[in-house]
Amino acid sequence: MFNIAGKAYAINVITPVRPWLAGVNRFFLWLVRTPCFRYLLKGLKTLSLIHYARWVVIDRKAFPHLSAEQPREDLRYSYMMFFSNFNGSWDQYIDSFTFTIPKGLDLIWKWNVRYSKSVPLTPFHRYIHYNQIETLHYYSAYPLASSNDVKSAQAVRDALVAFPAQFKNDADFLQQYNALLRGLQHDLGDMYPGTIISMAAYQADRRRRWHAGTLDKQSGQARR
Amino acid sequence: MANKTGNAYGLITLSPIRRGVLEEGVEFVDKVRDILQDWNFRDNSPMSQVPETYLCRYFVLDDVFTQSLPGGSAPDTIRDFWPFGPGTSLPHEDHLQSAYLVFCCSLYGGPNGNVEGYLKGMWTAMSEDIKSIWKYCYGFEQVNDANSFMVYMKKCQMKTSLFFVGANDAPLAEQLKGLYLKQELARFAIDNQGLDAATLRANFTAFMARVNPENLTTPTWTPGMYRIGQSS
C-alpha cells in the first residue's frame, strides 16, 4: 500500500450507481459548482486539509474500449469514482467529512447503490473502506507541505515580492519589517516530514534517509 | 468544463490492461503492479520530472465491488420492499472484463487547460517508464512519440464531474518557490530576533538577495523533495 506521499494521503473510492440515476448524480455534481449552490462545498474549504479532490461518474458503457481484441464491458451499473489528496490520517479525513458536510456528502452519494449515509459514522466508515482501492504509486511535488502550507506560501511570496526595496532610514525599515511579519504571522512556520501514520510513511522516511545518505549506515544493507 | 477549476486541471485516464502471461508466469496486470511499486524505491518518482505535476497516483482497478452492505438511501429502501419483478432485492453482481491502469493527476493546466501539452511533456520526461507499464495495455502499440501518446491518453480520459481545488491553482514553480520562501523567512525571523535596526536591515538585505523572491528558477524547492536542504 502506497497511499501516502509525505503529508498527503491518496484515497480512491469506486461505487456503483443505478444507470438511470447516473444522470441525476452528475446533475447534482454540476449543481454544487454553480454560484447559487457553491455554499454546499463551503465545508470542504473550511476543512482546509484537501489539496485536490474530484468525483467522476462513468456510464456503464463508457469505459474505454481501445482495441478489437479487448472484450467489451457488460456492466449493470454505472460507477462513481472519488479521488482525494488530503493531509492527515484516513480516520481524521472521513470523520471531518461527516462532521462538516454531511448534507453535501449525502447529496452527492445518495444515488449510489447501498450508500449508508454519512451519519452515523461507523456505517459510513465501513462503506468507504469497503469500496476503497489502494494506490500503487503516489507522487506529491511537495511531500513536506500540507495544503495550508501551499496556500500560505503564496501569501509569503506575494508579500516578499511587494516588500519595498528602499527605506528612508533604519527606523523606517524596522517598521516595514515588523509590519511584514505581523501580516504573515499566520503564514509562517517550519515544514518538516509528517508523523508516521502508516507503512507507506515508513517508506517515505526510508527514502528520506536514503537521500540523506544514512540508510546504508543504519541498516547495514544494500539499497532497496 | 468540469476537468478544470481555475488554472488547475484534473486528469484521469483508464487504460485497459491486456490479458496475458509473461514467460516467467507473471500475468500482465501483476507485472504492471510490480513496476509501479518498484517506482516507490527509487531516489524519487519519475513523475517528479514531469513539469507542472502537483500530485498524481497510479493504481490498478481489477474489478468493481459488489455491494452487500446495508444501505440507507431511498432507492435502496424502495428496492428492498419492491414486490414486483424478478430476482432478489440484493444488488446485482458486476464484473469488469479487463483490469484498468488508472492514472489520476492534478496539474497546472493554465487558463486554457492545456492537458495536451502536459501529456507531451510527460512523454518527453519519462517515455521509457511510460512504455514499461503502458505496453501491457490495449491500444498502446500505436504509441511511438509524444503526439501519439497524447492522442492515446485522450482516448483513455474520463471526464471529471466535479473537481475541487483546496490548495491553489498557481504554476508549480510558483508553489515551490513560495514554499521555499516560507521556510526561509520563518528561519530568518527566528534567527534575527532582538537585533538592532541597522543590523537587521543589513541581514534582511542580504537575505532578500540570497532568496531572490522573483526568481522562480533558483533558489527554490525541487519537485518531490523529501528533505529540507534539497533546494536547487
Out of B47, B53, B213, name the one closest to residue A161 (CB).
B213
Q: Which of A161-175, A186-200, B61-75, B112-126 shows the lowest per-residue confidence on average (mean pLDDT)?
A: A186-200
Sign of torsion, CA B150 B151 B157 B160? positive
Please list every residue in chain B whose beta carbon sits closer than 8 Å to the beta carbon of residue A52: 8, 10, 54-55, 106, 163-167
Choose, out of B48, B164, B165, the residue to mutate when testing the contact with A (most A CBs < 10 Å). Answer: B164
How many residues are recorded in chain A? 224
CB contact under 8 A, B106 and A51: yes
The grid cell for A191 is 515544514
Whether B41 and B72 have beta carbons less than 8 Å apart is answered as no
DSSP reduced 3-state for A152: helix
Out of B48, B162, B208, name the one closest to residue A139 (CB).
B48
B13: closest CA among B146, B168, B119?
Answer: B119
Interface residue A1 vs chain B (CB under 8 A): no
Please list every residue in chain B whose beta carbon sits closer than 8 Å to the beta carbon of residue A20: none
The pLDDT of residue B146 is above 50? yes
* pLDDT bracket for residue A39 (50, 70, 90): confident
CB contact under 8 A, A50 and B106: no
Neighbouring C-beta atoms of residue A123, cutoff 10 Å: 17
Q: What is the mean pLDDT of residues A122-148?
A: 92
Write down the pLDDT at residue B83: 64
Chain A residue whose CA is closest to B97: A73
CB contact under 8 A, B69 and A74: no
Instruction: For A154, list phi and psi in degrees, rounded to 5.
Output: -65, -40
Write down the pLDDT at residue B87: 53
Q: How many helices (H) and strands (E) does chain A have?
A: 9, 5
CB contact under 8 A, A10 and B58: no
The pLDDT of residue A100 is above 80? yes
Q: Which of A21-30, A125-134, A204-213 shows the lowest per-residue confidence on average (mean pLDDT)?
A: A204-213
Interface residue A65 vs chain B (CB under 8 A): yes
Please list every residue in chain B whose beta carbon sits closer than 8 Å to the beta carbon of residue A49: 166
A-B C-beta contacts closer than 8 Å: 328
Distance CA B111, CA B157 (A): 20
Write down the pLDDT at residue A220: 43
Please list every residue in chain A whose beta carbon sits closer than 8 Å to the beta carbon of residue B70: 114, 116, 123
Q: How would you list the strands of the sheet with B8-17, edge to edge?
A: A137-140, B53-61, B99-108, B8-17, B4-5
A129: closest CA among B69, B60, B56, B93?
Answer: B69
* B157-160 contact pairs (CB < 8 A, 24+): B157/B11, B157/B12, B157/B13, B157/B115, B158/A56, B158/A58, B158/A62, B158/A64, B158/A81, B158/B12, B158/B13, B158/B14, B159/A56, B159/B2, B159/B3, B160/A54, B160/A55, B160/A56, B160/B2, B160/B3, B160/B10, B160/B12
Q: Which residues contact A107 (CB under 8 A, 6 or more apart)?
A: A28, A32, A40
Whether B180 and A127 have beta carbons less than 8 Å apart is answered as no
**How large is the angle between the packed helices B172-191 and B197-211, nearest 10 degrees?**
160
Topology (CATH level 3) of domain A4-62+75-140: Alpha-Beta Plaits (3.30.70)
A64: closest CA among B102, B143, B65?
Answer: B102
Angle (nearest 5°) at CA B9 between B3 and B11: 70
**How large is the angle between the packed helices B115-134 and B146-156, nearest 10 degrees?**
90
Amino acid at A27: F
Q: Which residues contact B9 (CB under 8 A, 6 or more apart)?
A: B3, B106, B107, B108, B109, B113, B114, B115, B118, B163
B149: Cα within 13 Å, side-chain hemisphere: 21
The pLDDT of residue A61 is above 60? yes
**pLDDT tens sequence across B176-230:** 999 999 999 999 999 999 999 999 999 999 999 999 999 999 999 999 987 776 5
* pTM for this model (two decimals): 0.90
Interface residue B100 vs chain A (CB under 8 A): yes
**pLDDT tens sequence across B13-56:** 999 999 999 999 999 999 999 999 999 888 889 999 999 999 99
DSSP reduced 3-state for A51: strand
Interface residue B119 vs chain A (CB under 8 A): no
A56: closest CA among A16, A21, A23, A26?
Answer: A26
Distance CA A81, CA A14 (A): 4
Shortest Cα distance, chain A CAs vs residue B111, angstroms: 17
CB contact under 8 A, A55 and B160: yes
The distance from CA A177 to its chain's CA centroid, rounded to whole angstroms, is 35
Please list every residue in chain B whose beta carbon sits closer than 8 Å to the beta carbon of residue A190: 183, 186-187
Interface residue A161 vs chain B (CB under 8 A): yes
Interface residue A79 vs chain B (CB under 8 A): yes
The grid cell for B230 is 534539497
Out of A6, A72, A174, name the one closest to residue B200 (CB).
A174
Shortest Cα distance, chain A CAs vs residue B146, angstroms: 18
Q: What is the ipTM of this complex?
A: 0.92
Q: What burial class does residue A31 get, using C-beta atoms within 10 Å of its C-beta: 0-12 exposed, 13-18 middle, 19+ buried? A: middle
The pLDDT mean for chain A works out to 86
Domain spans in chain A, listed from the N-terminal domain onward: 4-62+75-140, 147-187
**pLDDT tens sequence across B68-110:** 777 767 777 776 666 665 555 677 889 999 999 999 999 999 9
Amino acid at A92: Q
